[in-house]
Amino acid sequence: MSSMGGVIITSIEQQWGRVCGRLREEVGEGAFKSWLRPVVLVDLEGGEARIAAPTKFMRDWVAAHYADRIRKLWHAENPDVQSVDVIVVPDRLAARPAAAPPAPAATAPATRTESAMPDRPPESATDFGAILDQRFTFDNFVVGKPNELAHAAARRVAEANSVTFNPLFLYGGVGLGKTHLMHGIAWHIRQKHPERRVLYMSAEKFMYQFIRALRFKDTMTFKELFRSVDVLMIDDVQFISGKDSTQEEFFHTFNALVDQNRQVVISADKSPSDLEGMEERLRSRLGWGLVADIHPTTYELRLGILQAKAETARVEIPAKVMEFLAHKITSNVRELEGALNRITAHAELVHRPVTLESTQELLHDLLRASDRRVTIDEIQKRVAEHYNIKIADMHSARRARTVARPRQVAMYLSKQLTPRSLPEIGRKFGGRDHTTVMHAVKKVEELCSEDRSFAEDVELLRRMLQI
Ligand SMILES: Nc1ncnc2c1ncn2[C@@H]1O[C@H](COP(=O)(O)OP(=O)(O)OP(=O)(O)O)[C@@H](O)[C@H]1O
């Protein structure tokens, strides 16, 4: 190690050694031994570091799964390093691990971590196999009724020592957690069985790889690579609907893997039988294993997800705000996350706590407040749900506080939110007199001024009914 003007200069061997040390910590001993230990340093020239794997298969694997990380770690060690080439150098030629570049004839075309280069034959590493999202683990997946089957099936596949159902086909609407579960499976296997080769990619990338292979007359490598994995996961398979030759190749890849008892996991936005533009034989094969759907979220699941995300992000969100969001943002989990991110970012920026008012203001586009008229029936239903009483109690003569108070709240809101007169409201509440309604309105106003939490509750109900 030498020092020049305060900058520590290390040899490239030392840099590579440290990069390897970091990688070992990150990927674990098993994966490191299988994939990275055999890789040797070749040279560093013009900002491009070259490393070599002993076989073409390993080269592709390292390029797909680790090269980008290696580039980042190396760049942190030495900012001159801009890209990493993974080449093939058979073991006997790579006896000298550093400095001397191998004879050009022994090297296969390099695979880069940079973006695709149009006239370069093989796949570029970043395009091959996707980087897994660190947040998408089973631990971070909130389970509820709508996704419990898909979650249980995904876990089974991830934890099983032998193939149980093949393929596992997960389907559901946009943003409901299919990709999250797929990544969850991949993370789990990577952690527990680093020696297993798991390949996850979107159907779009599969097609892209296939087209590249055709273009560069390298379909053998393509086939070899896809057929040598232990677990193949293809996300959003609907993408290849109507793409006949990609489907054909996918069908053969799929069959080859299933025949060898390798696990295949597929996701789509529809069930196999509903995948239009997909060949019948493929549709039928896709449905052979376990088909598990993810249903639209329920209020409870949305609330659970919000609580979990807020906890992970370590932000304080009042329960009322979470309830409000869970009631209002029902489209999918991605939108729910988006809303949560927006309000937490805002709160951090302006250093003000999150409130129901600020939330509503901030999300007005998402909430798309409609100024439609609310009906008394809707008010009764929503208030009854909120306080967990029967709708019938809105009309009944029962006077127990547990039902009388919600009834008063519903009367108050009916006065506030509808143009109905007091007698009309009274009639809708089991034929009560207008003075009873007047009394209810006064009582609720009084309670609101005395009891903050009661006031917030009523406010929450009012907002929810207005949107
Ligand atoms: N049950 C859940 N628990 C925690 N987070 C979830 C859950 N379901 C979905 N998410 C989150 O919602 C977001 C969208 O999920 P994901 O990308 O997996 O959806 P998808 O079904 O694959 O959508 P698409 O159809 O658009 O591909 C992700 O950030 C994911 O972490």
| DSSP result, 48-107 | EEEEEESSHHHHHHHHHHTHHHHHHHHHHH-TT--EEEEEE--GGGG-S-SSSPPPGGGP
Q: What is the per-residue pLDDT across 430-462, written as a single tens digit (0 to 9) for each?
A: 999 999 999 999 999 999 888 888 888 888 888
Work out the pLDDT band at 256, boundaries 50, 70, 90.
Answer: very high
pLDDT at 130: 65
Q: Which residues contact 383 (CB under 8 A, 6 or more apart)?
A: 394, 406, 409, 410, 413, 461
158-191 pLDDT per residue, tens: 999 889 899 999 999 888 999 999 999 999 998 8
- Could you give the 3-state DSSP secondary structure of residue 420? coil
CA-closest residue to ligand 1 atom 29: 334
Degrees to nearest 5, angle at CA 110 with 107 and 111: 145
pLDDT class for 335, splitting at 50, 70, 90? Answer: confident
- Tell me the pairing of strands 40-45 and 231-235: unpaired
Which residue from 132, 179, 294, 311 has its CB within 8 A of the most atoms of ligand 1, so it is best to mutate? 179
Residue closest by Cα to atom 8 of ligand 1: 177
pLDDT given at position 373 = 64
Instruction: Please report, as a single letter, which amino acid is at residue 238.
Output: Q
Residue 52 in tokens:
């070599």
Between CA 217 and CA 219 the distance in angstroms is 6
CA of 460 to the centre of ligand 1 (A): 27
> How far is residue 466's CA from residue 324's CA, in Å, rounded to a whole number?
12
Atom of ligand 1 nearest to the CA of 294: 21
Query: 303 C-alpha to center of ligand 1: Å?
Result: 15
293 three-class SS: strand
Q: How confident is the prediction for the chain on average, in pLDDT?
A: 83
Sequence-ordered list of residues with C-beta below 8 angstroms from that of 68, at least 6 positions apart, any chain: 113, 125, 126, 131
The answer to whether the CB of 36 falls within 8 A of the CB of 24 is: yes
The set of protein residues with a Cβ atom below 6 angstroms from ligand 1 is 136, 140-142, 147, 172, 174-180, 236, 269, 305, 333-334, 337
Q: Which of 136, 176, 236 for mutating ligand 1's site (highest number of atoms within 8 Å of CB)?
A: 176
Residues making up the binding site for ATP: 175, 177-179
Please answer whether residues 191 and 110 qualify as being in contact, where contact means their C-beta atoms are separated by less than 8 angstroms: no
- Let me know: does 212 contact 123? Beta carbons within 8 Å: yes
pTM: 0.59
- Written as six digits, the tokens of 280 are 């019948």
